[in-house]
Amino acid sequence: MFGLIGHSTSFASARHLAERLGYPEYAAGDLDMWSSAPPQLVERFSVESLTGRRIEGAYIDSVFVPEMLRRFKTAKRKVLNAMELAQKSGIDSSALGGFTSIIFEDMNLLKEQQVRATTLEWERFTTGNTHTAWVICRQVEANAPLLGIDLAKATVAVVGATGDIGSAVCQWLSRRTGVAELLLVARKPQPLLDLQASLGCGRILPLEEALPQADVVVWVASMPESLSIDVANLRKPCLMVDGGYPKNLDSKAAAEGVHVLKGGIVEFYTDIDWQVVALAADMARPQRQMFACFAEAMLLDFEEHHTNFSWGRNNITLAAMDWIGAASLRHGFQAVGLETVVHLSRSTAGLARH
Amino acid sequence: MPTLESTQADLNQEPEGLPDFSSEAYKDAYSRINAIVIEGEQEAHDNYIAIGTLLPDQAEELARLARMELKHMKGFTACGANLGVSADMDFAREFFSPLRNNFQAALAEGKVVTCLLIQALLIEAFAIAAYHIYIPVADPFARKITEGVVKDEYTHLNYGQEWLKANFEASRAELEEANRVNLPHVRRMLERVAADAAELRMEKEDLIEDFLIAYQEALTEIGFSSRDIARMAAAALIG
């Protein structure tokens, strides 16, 4: 069985979801009430692969909302309790979705293996980052040419280059895709130097200098609210892959010739009979689109490869990306492409849908 | 929406260490918390013996559970003595009175389902939550004792859970009613003890969530759906 550990994108949307699902007490509750509410296994579903293999899954709402990030003990408790519930529910592979994997990493929850009477078995969990990294690379490779960008001659900036997903994307783009130039952007200098040394290529630049030079920008860092992008200085065309969480690049980089693609999102070949996931996720086609990290849990279950496949920081190898990529295609996933994004940005801008 | 970046500093903060067990403020708070625990174990003993009168074929097993509670009570009495604290038993007896009164009323009416919900589910889940949260911030002596106790409390929770599971359909309506009536008392008890618990570095938010996790697990085992459970649990979150 596979599991998806997720959360609503905001407290307002969480309350709205509770209202729609028929939990009026939760819809009316304040943030303190939600902070004390335990995780819930809210939905079970079954999924059939292109190969015909059928697996069972469950969605666990951690009852975390991003507004709780400022309450670090609460955030930590939410993630650990959701993981405990997943394990106790007998789920073999659970993906840590949204902020939950970021909290796990940043708060070093590896130290917190004991949750009450339960010893968490790490092999039951994955961050899903290997699949996310592979999908983002595929999105770059498939969509840049559609905009007339020849990757062999292109400059690609990776923002958040030293992170778990960012460093894997840099490896892939430099060794597999073969882009002309890689611009490495991140906050801390030393990890950037280490990354550059391990890649044997790449130019380290501050964000404001990298953006105007890039034909493609892969964004795999969470973006501060205060950040603004000077779209006038961007190259046109420019492909921006928004692989961070939350996805808010489309509102910051909206301009003619700038194409923002929701990064790390995949589409399944057929509809999945889930209701809560469809309501909770902010997807253009919620019955079949999902975060690639969620899909990784499915893939591990389809393949009966029950290990903590993506785990820790900067452990993603090209071989692992190859493996998960092949599994992804075999079982019926494909990376969301630019067509969907054009469609999305049109609807966001209030223009007629096509 | 807040982003991780904007809260990085918060995320990297480590919680404070152990409290000062010898401070007057700690001892004052401990005099009430320790009393609650001692009284809780005593009442648990009495309640299991009482439930045995409603379930004569189970009386022997219930007497065994009751004896464990007395052992716990002695352990916790020693914890207070170890810190030089005298437990405020008057406070504790009054603290438990709403649940005790409801238990006694149910007992008088022969309502075994309500009795089991109050003692074997609510009070045991409350104890499990409190002990789990207490262990990391306890003094070394109390820590050892509490670690031993918490394992036993799962046995007790499990007892009530198994009985109610075996009699689920017949018990369902009474369980829902007993939940509705008694869960708000648990909430109020947690509120009342929050300031003293905070002095011991135990936070109300943690206590409520851990209590609900233990309680919800029991309800799941008994046979309620997740939807029923979320609705039943809301009574502990609001009010």
Question: Over the stretch B152-172, which tens digit does the pLDDT of each residue have?
Answer: 888 898 999 999 999 999 999
Say if B154 is an interface residue toward chain A (CB within 8 Å): yes
Confidence of residue A348 (pLDDT cuts 50, 70, 90): very low
Contact predicate B102/B118, CB 8 Å: yes
CB contact under 8 A, A29 and B12: no
For residue A5, pLDDT over 70 is answered with yes
Q: Of A96, A84, A91, A92, whose CA–CA distance to A130 is shortest? A: A96
pLDDT digits (tens, 9 = 90+) for A49-105: 999 999 999 999 999 999 999 899 999 999 999 999 999 999 999 999 989 999 998
Looking at CA atoms only, how far is residue B156 from chain A in angstroms?
15
Whether residues B5 and A222 touch (CB distance < 8 A) is answered with yes
Put simply, the answer to whether A117 touches B150 (Cβ < 8 Å) is yes
Q: What residues in A contact B7, CB-CB < 8 Å?
A: 69-70, 72
Cα torsion A40, A31, A106, A218: sign? positive
ipTM over 0.90: no
CB contact under 8 A, A26 and B210: no
Q: Return the pLDDT at A340.
A: 46
Sheet bearing A40-48, strands edge to edge: A40-48, A54-61, A2-6, A93-96, A125-126
Q: Are A242 and A249 in contact (CB under 8 A)?
A: yes
Give strand pairing partners of A54: A48
The pLDDT of residue A280: 86
| Share of chain A residues as helix, strand and coil, in percent rounded to the nearest 5 | 45, 20, 35
pLDDT classification of B223: cutoffs 50, 70, 90: very high
Which residues, at least 6 apart from A259, have a Cβ–Cβ distance to it below 8 Å? A143, A147, A237, A238, A239, A240, A338, A341, A342
Tokens of B232: 């039943």
Window from A274-288, B2-16, B136-150 with minimum mean pLDDT: B2-16
Residues 6+ apart with CB under 8 A from A293: A95, A96, A97, A101, A126, A127, A128, A129, A131, A132, A264, A310
Q: Give B108→chain A minimum CA distance, Å.
A: 33
- How many residues belong to chain A? 354
Answer whether residue B3 shows pLDDT above 60. no
pLDDT digits (tens, 9 = 90+) for B167-211: 999 999 999 999 999 999 999 999 999 999 999 999 999 999 999
Name the DSSP class of A168. Answer: H
Q: How would you class A330 by CB atoms within 10 Å of its CB: exposed for 0-12, middle for 13-18, buried for 19 or more?
A: middle
A39: nearest CA in chain B? Answer: B213
Note the pLDDT of residue A49.
98
Instruction: Measure CB to CB from residue A106 to each of B2, B11, B205 and give the nearest one.
Output: B11
Question: Is 70 exceeded by the pLDDT of residue A11?
Answer: yes
How far is the C-alpha of A338 from the C-alpha of A242, rounded, in Å? 12
Mode of pairing for the β-strands spanning A265-268 and A289-291? antiparallel
Residues in chain B with CB shorter than 8 Å from the CB of A248 are 1
B-chain residues near A38 (CB < 8 A): 209, 212-213, 216, 233
Average pLDDT along chain A: 92
pLDDT tier at B239 (50, 70, 90 boundaries)?
low
Look at residue A173 in the predicted model and tell me its pLDDT. 98
Q: What pLDDT is attached to residue B194?
A: 96
CA distance B15 to chain A (A): 8
Task: Please tell me if residue B162 touches chain A, with a CB cutoff of 8 Å.
Answer: no
Cβ neighbors of A281 (< 8 A, separation 6 or more) are A6, A289, A290, A291
Q: Is the dihedral of CA A39, A44, A50, A51 positive or negative?
A: positive
pLDDT tens digits, one per residue of B92-126: 999 999 999 999 999 999 999 999 999 999 999 99
Residues B217-226, mean pLDDT to the nearest whole number: 93
Of B10, B213, B230, the CB nearest to A70: B10
Domains of chain A (ranges; CATH) run 2-126+267-331 (no CATH), 135-264 (3.40.50.720)
d(CA A4, CA A14): 17
With an 8 Å Cβ cutoff, is B108 touching chain A?
no
Probe site for chain B from A32, A36, A187 (most B CB atoms < 10 A): A36
- Residue A46 makes CB contacts below 8 A (sequence gap 6+) with A54, A55, A56, A57, A273
The pLDDT of residue B10 is above 50? no
At how many degrees (to 10) do helices B89-108 and B24-54 cross? 20
How far from chain centre, in Å, is Cα A298? 15
Unique residue bearing structure tokens 């174990």: B41
Please give the residue that has the higher pLDDT: either A348 or B81. B81
CB-nearest to A77 from B12, B209, B238 is: B209
Residue partners of A92: CB distance under 8 A and separation at least 6? A1, A2, A124, A300, A301, A306
Alpha-carbon Rg for chain B, nearest whole angstrom, is 18
Contact check, Cβ <8 Å, A70/B231? no
Contacts of A88 in chain B (CB under 8 A): 217
- B203 vs A: CB within 8 A: yes
Mean pLDDT, residues A229-235 taken together: 93
Minimal C-alpha gap between A223 and chain B (Å): 7
Name the one residue in this structure whose structure tokens are 């964004």. Answer: A219
The secondary structure of residue A255, as a DSSP letter, is B
The pLDDT score that the predictor gives to residue B1 is 41
A25 contacts B213? CB cut-off 8 A: no
For chain B, how are helix, strand and coil distributed in percent, rounded to 5?
A: 85, 0, 15
Q: What is the pLDDT of residue A321?
A: 98
Backbone angles phi and psi of A345, in degrees to 5? -70, -30
Percent above pLDDT 70 for chain A = 95
Give the tens place of pLDDT for each residue, A303-347: 999 999 999 989 999 999 999 999 999 999 999 998 644 444 444
Sign of the C-alpha dihedral, residues A50, A51, A54, A55?
negative
Closest CB from B3, B12, B209 relative to A38: B209
In this complex, the residue of A23, A29, A70 whose CB is nearest that of residue B2 is A70
Q: In which band, very low, low, confident or very high, does the pLDDT at B82 lie, cut at 50, 70 and 90? A: very high
Q: State the alpha helices, DSSP H only, in B55-108.
A: 59-82, 89-108
Mean pLDDT of B7-27: 72
Note the pLDDT of residue B236. Answer: 81
Residue B114 in contact with partner chain A when CB distance is under 8 A: no
> What are the φ and ψ backbone dihedral angles of A242, each rounded to 5 degrees?
-90, 90
Q: What is the per-residue pLDDT for A272? A: 97
Q: Is B230 on the interface with A (CB under 8 A)?
A: yes
B237:A29 CB<8 A = yes
**CA–CA distance, A207 with B231 (Å, rounded to integer):** 48
Stretch (H or E) spanning A55: strand A54-61
The rounded distance, in Å, linking the Cα atoms of B157 and B162 is 9
pLDDT per residue over A255-270, tens digit each? Answer: 899 999 999 999 999 9
Closest alpha carbon to B187 in B76, B99, B93 = B99
On whether any CB of chain A is under 8 Å from the CB of B233, the answer is yes
Model's pTM, two decimal places?
0.91
Query: Cβ of B196: how many Cβ atoms within 10 Å?
Result: 20
What local confidence, expressed as pLDDT, does residue A339 receive?
A: 66
For Cα atoms B224, B228, B233, give the angle at the middle one, nearest 5 degrees: 105
Chain B residues with CB-CB distance to A99 below 8 A: 4
Nearest residue to B174 via CA among B135, B121, B137: B121
Q: Which residue has the tokens 């939600």?
A: A34
B208 contacts in chain A (CB < 8 Å): 36
Asked whether A78 and A62 are in contact (CB, 8 A), the reply is: yes
Give the closest residue to A18 by CA, choosing from B175, B183, B238, B204.
B238
**Residues sharing a CB contact under 8 Å with residue B69, sequence separation 6 or more, in sequence order:** B41, B42, B44, B45, B48, B156
Mean pLDDT of chain B: 92
Q: Is A258 helix (H, G, I), strand (E, B) or coil?
A: strand
Q: What is the pLDDT of residue A342?
A: 43
pLDDT attached to residue B100: 97
| A254 pLDDT above the threshold of 60 | yes
Read off the pLDDT of residues A101-146 as tens digits, 9 standing for 90 and up: 999 988 999 999 999 889 999 999 999 999 999 999 999 999 999 9
The strand ranges marked E within chain B are none
In this prediction, residue B4 has a pLDDT band, given cuts at 50, 70 and 90, of very low
